[in-house]
Amino acid sequence: MEKLEIKTKVLSENQRIAEELREKFRANGVLVLNFISSPGSGKTELLERTLCALPPTTRVAVLTGDIQTDNDAKRIARAGFPVRQITTGGTCHLDGSMITRGLNELGIDLADLDVLFIENIGNLVCPASYDLGEEAKIVLLSVTEGEDKPLKYPSIFFKSALFLLTKVDLLPYVPFDADAAEANARLIHPAMEIIRCSATATGGLDQWLGWLHAKMKAARESALTASHTS
């Protein structure tokens, strides 16, 4: 019982912080996306390629989480945008207080941002329970994994607005049924958006980038509407 009460208090405090963050993000028109997947699904490479594909005038920052090392931050920094590594030292997820601290360390005014990417710890279980104030969770599954992962880890697929099926350029070479993986995801979350993408194939990110630009535009317009009516 004590463990349950402690967990409830932790989640309740995290939710309070997340709601405060969300209010600030929305007021400033910042689109915040929380990327979640198993290790090796291609989160970091996707972010690298996405950053390189964005217009240089895009105001973007990245918070990337890992249990140890700052390797991912070093990779992402090559794209030329502000990035901060959050090293948890053993914790298997990011939480709202870590995001607050990471933003403070970045030292960026939210009014000067269009989009904030959060790369969560490689884990399909723990991150599902923690709201970070994001506009949307995005779950990644690569074709080198199993088609049944949406059924094995239903919580994160249920809570994610978008499912990115990654590394689809490898489909001719691996025994993976993409249609079955998508059907399993739809069993958990019928309204989920699904995009097949590749960070290495020509045009492999076009649909994803289109989705991203539409969400960025919607975030800006929502903030403008709110400021005019307040």
Cα Rg of the chain (Å, integer): 17
Other Cβ atoms closer than 10 A to 123: 18
Side-chain-side CA neighbours of 45 within 13 Å: the count stands at 15
- Give me the sign of the Cα torsion angle 68, 49, 175, 158: positive
Q: Which CATH architecture has domain 2-219?
A: 3-Layer(aba) Sandwich (3.40)
pLDDT at 177: 98
Q: How far is CA 35 from the centre of its chain?
A: 2
pLDDT at 9: 67
Q: Yes or no: say if 36 and 127 are a contact pair by the CB < 8 Å rule.
A: yes
pLDDT values of the chain reduced to their tens digit, one per residue, 230 residues:
555 565 566 788 999 999 999 999 999 999 999 999 999 999 999 999 999 999 989 999 999 998 877 788 889 998 889 999 999 888 899 999 999 999 999 999 999 999 999 999 999 999 999 999 999 999 999 999 999 999 999 999 999 999 999 999 999 999 999 999 999 999 999 999 999 999 999 999 999 999 999 999 999 999 988 877 76
How many angstroms separate the CA atoms of 9 and 95, rounded? 13
Closest by CA to 130, choosing from 188, 91, 104, 165, is 91
* pTM (global) more than 0.75: yes
Question: Please, where are the H alpha helices in the chain?
Answer: 2-27, 43-53, 71-77, 96-106, 149-152, 154-159, 178-188, 206-229
How many angstroms separate the CA atoms of 47 and 45, rounded? 5
| Per-domain boundaries in the chain | 2-219
Task: Tell me the two tokens of residue 93.
Answer: 């997820």
Question: What are the b/e assignments for 80-110, b being 16+ CB within 10 Å?
Answer: ebbbbbbeeeeeebbbbebbbebbeebebeb
